[in-house]
Amino acid sequence: MSGLFDLHGRLAVVTGARRGIGRAMAEALAAAGADIIGVSTQARADDEIAESIRGLGRSFESRAVDFADRDAVLALGAELAERAPDILVNNAGTIERAPAAEHPLSWWDRVIEIDLSSQFALTQLVARPMLERGRGKVVFTASMLSFQGGINVPGYTAAKSGIAGLTRALANEWAGRGVNVNAIAPGYIATDNTAALRDDPDRSRSILERIPAGRWGAATTSPEWRSSSARRPPTTSPARSSRWTAGGWRDNALAPIEEAGKPHGFPASSSSGGYRR
């Protein structure tokens, strides 16, 4: 089983790696043997994620980048292209909540830039050396709102719907050239982005009523799994996730991301969502 998840000698870039889902993915990739470049807006050399990755015996480098700053993202992309990473996980994102009729256009612009435009810009640059060598993996973090409209988050829903379409478009173009492009669509996970919902008793209750497990998903990999050096799939929430491939999208219950029948070493942890975020 260990060979199925062996990423030794591979370099993975994970954006939004400092906490939440991004940290869980970075840790799982490292447990499978990959060295990690973690990118976050507030990244610091002494972040817990750095200690965690190095504790798994892998190298960790930190990059602080504001994904709302197009020039900074392009500079990062140019730097990473020189490093020629094997895996790119586009997980960085933000969310702003206000009814659509009162939603500030400045919020809309910022969310679209961070959650969609910056991800295309970064992927475009990092994927070029992947395409040249005929090998690479790109993973986007989409959302249940890639399928559903949500309420009070028009910019976020538009961006995550765009990520779904972008994933399909890139998969169609690049699969035949050896670069696999996939997306995961987490449901209700306990992260900073969902703190406002969890802190609202009425919204939290209505959400939990629609989740069969009756609890929020957790963006973690278990210590037991991490110490196994990825000899088995990661622990996930008892819930549902989705992914897109060049062949379309597929709904998976409790499935790790996989490509061509070969599971990858990081989680697609998700809880089942409802129709509103």
Active site residues: 156
The strand pair at 262-263 and 258-259 is best described as: antiparallel
Q: Which residues are CB-contacts of 28 (< 8 A; sequence separation ≥ 6)? A: 221, 225, 226, 230, 234, 265, 266, 267
Q: Which residues are CB-contacts of 199 (< 8 A; sequence separation ≥ 6)? A: none
* Beta bridge pairs of residue 40: 64
The whole-angstrom separation of Cα 169 and Cα 147 is 17
Q: How far apart are the first and last CA of the chain?
A: 38
CA 250 → CA 115, 230, 234, 257, distances in Å?
A: 22, 24, 19, 11
The strand pair at 87-90 and 60-64 is best described as: unpaired
Whether the Cβ atoms of residue 42 and residue 17 lie closer than 8 Å to each other = no
- Count CB neighbours of 48 within 10 A: 11
Please tell me what DSSP assigns to residue 215.
Answer: S
CA 50 distance to own-chain centroid: 18
The whole-angstrom separation of Cα 194 and Cα 95 is 9
| CA-based nearest residue to 125, from 85, 162, 93 | 85
Look-up: residue for tokens 């986007």? 140
The strand pair at 240-245 and 60-64 is best described as: unpaired
